[in-house]
Every structure is written in structure tokens, then in C-alpha cells.
Amino acid sequence: MKTRKLGRTDLNLSVIGLGTWAIGGGGWRYSWGPQDDRESIATILRALKMGVNWIDTAPVYGLGHSEEIVGKAVEGLRKKPIIATKCGLVWDKNREISNCLKEESIRSEVEASLKRLKVDVIDLYQIHWPMPDGDIEEAWRTIADLVDKGKIRYAGVSNFNVEQLERIQDIHPIASLQPPYSMLRREVEDELLVFCAENDIGIVAYSPMEKGLLAGKFSRERVQNLPKDDQRREETRFQEPELSANLELVEDLRRMAEKRGRTVAQLAIAWVLRRPEITAAIVGARHPYQIEETIAAGEWTLSGDNIAAVDVLLNKRRKTLNIG
Ligand SMILES: NC(=O)c1ccc[n+]([C@@H]2O[C@H](COP(=O)([O-])OP(=O)(O)OC[C@H]3O[C@@H](n4cnc5c(N)ncnc54)[C@H](OP(=O)(O)O)[C@@H]3O)[C@@H](O)[C@H]2O)c1
């Protein structure tokens, strides 16, 4: 498995990182429906065995559950993976989720994450969302202090724009940005890729398969039959008029990938990794067979011809949807 250095850190990340949002399981506001914990642990161990060397999680995924499962899976491993987690989304006794970036809250979040993950130090600690915007400096100063105290190795952010990165970068070095990036969500190309490259900030891109839509296993029927608490039901990409255009795109991409002996999921991820500014793609999986398929994307370098062929298909989708 190829690795790339994360910004100015000494972390060499496998270009495929394992995302564990869905592994948080059912029964909370942003769940992906029910999930079998044994299957989750098997998925994590399979990913590590196949060469993934890092895992992305967050306290909010399953309200602590994803971190606990990651902690259980890696406990006792001789060589622990690099673990990235986050802060800034908290919940109350009624399981209501809210944003908080206050110092005391982050200090208590980090202790809870260390406990659930069963580690002494968190390799990469990220502000999950820059909300409330006015508190990002307070949060970053707190995280810088937690780095000094040895609780965190490196500090990163997620879902920040350039202006927000500029506001915090003099307080403490930014190791990484975690933005969304897929064939269907390319906003990061406007400014952030260049800014991060110029400032030596690593980029770990989330939802490279657009929450599974580009993995090639969706149909209209499957979308209709998603569990009631699968948050993908609320996404416009899984609803008409976008859904038909997206499913058509997937069929076009599938034909293209198959001609090259690949799958559409691998094409979606390799496409994200074509950009040198991207350190790694965070690829979600909830079953071992899923990561067994997607991991091969890490070895596939798209040629200029392949990239141009994808562009043609993406333009066709834009025309269908009348996007300028
Ligand atoms: N910082 C943030 O705000 C933020 C936001 C989103 C994500 N993330 C991180 O990024 C990670 C990855 O993003 P993501 O989970 O949203 O999306 P993704 O990687 O685009 O899609 C993952 C989902 O696709 C399906 N899938 C995966 N491999 C497959 C295969 N081989 N065949 C068929 N289906 C397959 C699985 O769901 P089904 O089997 O249920 O279809 C899986 O959960 C998350 O887990 C999380 O760690 C962070």
C-alpha cells in the first residue's frame, strides 16, 4: 500500500484510510442504520491486515460507539494503527447533538476519547466542524495546549474554509484538513487544494464514494429500502432529480472501469487520489468484503486519458441536471 506524508508531520499515511462513521451503528441522529459490531471489528482488522495504517473516527459516530469499537479492535495489537478522531460535536442525556468548541468541553472530550480508544495519546485530533465560527480560535488554543501536554500528537481540522484556516494557523501549525471530496463534490478544488499545498497542510478527503452512491451497488429500490434511520435518505444526491442522473453516471463509470479490469468503487477513489495535494482518501466500510474491494484503488494511478474520460462523463451528468 502506498503512503504519503501528512503535511509537515512525520505521519506517513496509507493512501486509503478506514472511515468508521457507519460503524457507529443505529439509533442516533446521523446513523447509517443497524450495524453488527462483530462485522465492524472484522472490517477494521481486515483493513489493517491488507495494509491500511490509519483509522478515522469521531466521538459523535454512534455517540461514542465507533470510538469504542475502534478501541476494542486495536486493543492488544502489537502494531497499533495511526488513529485520528475529532471534537466539537457533543450530546446530552437525551442524545441531542450540538456544536461546542469551548475549552472545558474539548478538555473533557479528549479524556473521553482517550478512554474509549484505550490509547495514551491521539495521533491526529481534528475540529469536526468550525461551529460556532467565533469559537474556533479558543478551540485551537486549547488543542495546542493538549499537544504540549502530550495528549495529542498532531492537530487538524475538518470542514474549514480558507479564511478559517488563516485565522488559526499562526496559533499552532495545522497538520491536516479533512474536507469532502468526490466526483460529485468538487468545491475543494476552488481554493483549498492550492492553499493547503502552499501551506504544507495535509488533506484527508472524506466520502470519496459519496457515502456509497459511487460504490456501484445502489439502485432506486435500494434507496427506497434504506433503513428508516439511515441518514442518506435525507441527502439530495439520493433523491430525485439527482438520483437518476447519479445512477446513470455510475453505470457509465462502471463500463469505463470494467474495460480496465477495475470496479466503479475503485475508480471513484483512484480519481480522488489523482490529485497530489490529497494525502489520503478516507474510505468508509462496514463489511470486510467492502474494504477488500476498495483497497485496490490505492495502487491505481489514473492516466491522463482515464481522467479525461471521467470528465466527459461528469459533464454529461451536469448537462442532464442543467448545472452550468
Ligand atoms: N469530517 C466530516 O465531517 C466527515 C463527514 C463524512 C465522512 N467522514 C469520514 O469519512 C469516512 C468515509 O466517508 P463515508 O463513510 O461518508 O463515505 P464513503 O467512503 O464515500 O462510503 C462508504 C460507504 O459506502 C458503502 N461501501 C463501501 N465499500 C463498498 C463496496 N466495496 N461495495 C459497496 N458499497 C460499499 C458502505 O455503505 P453501505 O454498505 O451502507 O452502502 C460504506 O459505509 C467516514 O466514515 C468518516 O470517517 C467525515
Q: Nearest CA to 44 among 296, 287, 294?
A: 287
Mutate to test the pocket of ligand 1, among 290, 292, 294, 295 (most ligand atoms within 8 A of CB): 290
pTM summary value: 0.98
Identify whether 206 is a catalytic site residue: no
How many angstroms does the Cα of residue 32 sit away from the middle of ligand 1? 10
Q: Which residues contact 290 (CB under 8 A, 6 or more apart)?
A: 43, 215
210: Cα separation from own chain's centroid: 10
How many angstroms does the Cα of residue 270 sit away from the middle of ligand 1? 15
* Mean pLDDT of the chain, nearest integer: 97
The residue whose CA has the least distance to atom 46 of ligand 1 is 19
The residue whose CA has the least distance to atom 28 of ligand 1 is 290
pLDDT tens digits, residue range 81-94?
999 999 999 999 99
Q: How confident is the model at residue 48 (pLDDT cuts 50, 70, 90)?
A: very high
pLDDT tens digits, residue range 127-171?
999 999 999 999 999 999 999 999 999 999 999 999 999 999 999
How many angstroms does the Cα of residue 36 sit away from the middle of ligand 1? 16
Using the predicted structure, report yes or no on whether residue 324 has a pLDDT greater than 80: no
The residue-averaged pLDDT of 115-128 equals 98
Q: How confident is the model at residue 45 (pLDDT cuts 50, 70, 90)?
A: very high
Using the predicted structure, report yes or no on whether residue 271 has a pLDDT greater than 80: yes
Question: Any bridge partners for residue 98, and if so which?
Answer: 90
